């Protein structure tokens, strides 16, 4: 172990004994009528003693677990010093830095001056051995994990200290796809990581199929009826034009045709032919549109036909909904 490590180990053991004395003194201070220690205090003291034993055997991982469990049961700033020493021995510089800072903050004036100087020296060295992540998420309440360990929910209150190396950040929120980033962080790096969790657009409400189908069926009846009326009108106009043409031929075949009757038949033939062409074209258009409406899916836009007859015109309108 390096000289600094041996110094820290000796200080940790000394502090461990002092902290244990502090906890157990709560049970014996005062007169004989003093209450027995609580179950929590007894568990914390037992955890702390086991941590000291592991630490003396240079078994730092179980020692760190015991110290952290003791601190969770009964917080004491003295235990933070032991936590920092174990983390430092395990090269977990980020955890050691946090533990030592909390030790000086919570201990305040109770920390001896010589120990404060040593801890501040360690803090100076540790700050050069960690990196910082600035994690931001556009959605509040998202779970943020660093290397599978939970950090909290967005927005995070403080930057995240990490040891140099490769790290994996995961962000997840109910109803949204989780996002994962892997990045390398070097000592003294300050890396900003932004996550954008886009919510899927809300689909528009769909009309019930039965209602749409009923509406389509009603429109089809109107469309096919309009197509039939136009077709019948085209046929009628064609028959009139055909009869007028035959009458005009008969008039021409006689020796002295009636010119008035001949002109009348020719005018009727021309007018009927124009009407037959217009109405026939409208019938073809209406038939094609009606066939499209019949064959399209139910969810497609609906078309409503409208037919208006005038003295010399026919107006066909299709209203697309």
Q: Mark whether 83 and 138 lie in a shared domain.
A: no
Q: Mark whether 123 and 143 lie in a shared domain.
A: no
Check: CB of residue 69 under 8 Å from CB of residue 47: yes
Per-residue pLDDT, 64: 97
pLDDT digits (tens, 9 = 90+) for 89-129: 999 999 999 999 999 999 988 999 999 999 999 999 999 99
171 found inside a domain: yes
Share of the chain residues as helix, strand and coil, in percent rounded to the nearest 5: 60, 15, 25
Instruction: Kindly tell me the number of DSSP H helices and DSSP E strands found in the chain.
Output: 8, 9
200 found inside a domain: no
202 found inside a domain: no
In which domain, by residue range, is 59 found? Answer: 3-127
Per-residue pLDDT, 2: 45
Q: What are phi and psi of 248, to 5 degrees?
A: -65, -40
The CATH number assigned to the domain holding 31 equals: 1.25.40.10
Looking at the 3D structure of the chain, how many domains does it have?
A: 3
CB-count burial class (<10 Å; 0-12, 13-18, 19+) for 22? middle
Per-residue pLDDT, 31: 38
Residues of the chain with pLDDT under 70: 1-37, 199-201, 206-224, 230-231, 233-235, 237-263, 265-266, 269, 272, 274-276, 279-280, 282-283, 286-287, 290-321
Q: Mark whether 234 and 157 lie in a shared domain.
A: no
Q: Mark whether 89 and 109 lie in a shared domain.
A: yes
Q: Mark whether 254 and 191 lie in a shared domain.
A: no
pLDDT digits (tens, 9 = 90+) for 271-303: 767 666 776 676 677 667 766 666 666 554 455
Question: For residues 227 and 286, what is the distance between their CA atoms, to the nearest angstrom?
Answer: 5
Per-residue pLDDT, 110: 93
In 3D space, the residue among 130, 67, 73 whose CA is nearest the CA of residue 103 turns out to be 67
Q: What is the largest CA-CA distance in the chain?
A: 154
269 found inside a domain: yes
Q: Which of 71, 98, 127 is the last residue of a domain?
A: 127
- Strand segments (E) across 35-189: 131-137, 143-146, 149-153, 160-162, 165-172, 179-185
Question: For residues 299 and 102, what is the distance between their CA atoms, to the nearest angstrom?
Answer: 65
Check: CB of residue 236 under 8 Å from CB of residue 275: no
Per-residue pLDDT, 198: 75
Per-residue pLDDT, 28: 26
């Amino acid at each position: 172990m390096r000289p600094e490590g041996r110094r820290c180990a000796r200080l940790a053991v000394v502090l461990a004994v002092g902290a244990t004395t502090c906890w157990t003194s709560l049970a014996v201070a005062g007169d004989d009528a003093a209450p027995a220690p609580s179950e929590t205090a007894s568990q914390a003291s037992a955890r702390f003693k086991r941590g000291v034993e592991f630490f003396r055997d240079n078994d730092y991982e179980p020692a760190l677990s015991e110290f952290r469990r003791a601190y969770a049961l009964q917080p004491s700033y003295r235990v933070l010093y032991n936590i920092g020493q174990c983390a430092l021995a395990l090269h977990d510089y980020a955890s050691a830095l946090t533990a030592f800072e909390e030790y000086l903050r919570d201990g305040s004036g109770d920390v001896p001056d010589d120990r404060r100087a040593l801890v501040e020296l360690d803090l100076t060295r540790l700050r050069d051995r960690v990196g910082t992540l600035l994690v931001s998420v556009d959605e509040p309440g998202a779970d943020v994990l660093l290397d599978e360990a939970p950090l909290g929910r967005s927005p995070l209150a403080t930057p995240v200290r990490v040891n140099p190396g490769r790290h994996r950040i995961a962000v997840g929120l109910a109803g949204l796809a989780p996002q994962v980033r892997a990045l390398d962080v070097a000592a003294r790096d300050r890396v900003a990581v932004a996550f954008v969790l886009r919510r899927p657009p809300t689909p528009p409400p769909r009309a019930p199929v039965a209602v749409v189908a009923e509406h389509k069926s009603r429109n089809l009846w109107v469309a096919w009826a309009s197509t039939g009326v136009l077709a019948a009108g085209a046929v009628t106009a064609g028959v009139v034009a055909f009869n007028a043409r035959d009458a005009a031929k008969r008039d021409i075949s006689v020796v002295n045709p009636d010119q008035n009757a001949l002109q009348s038949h020719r005018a009727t033939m021309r007018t009927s032919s124009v009407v037959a062409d217009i109405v026939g074209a409208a019938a073809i258009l209406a038939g094609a549109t009606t066939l499209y409406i019949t064959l399209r899916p139910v969810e497609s836009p609906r078309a409503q036909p409208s037919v208006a007859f005038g003295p010399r015109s026919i107006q066909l309108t299709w209203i697309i909904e």
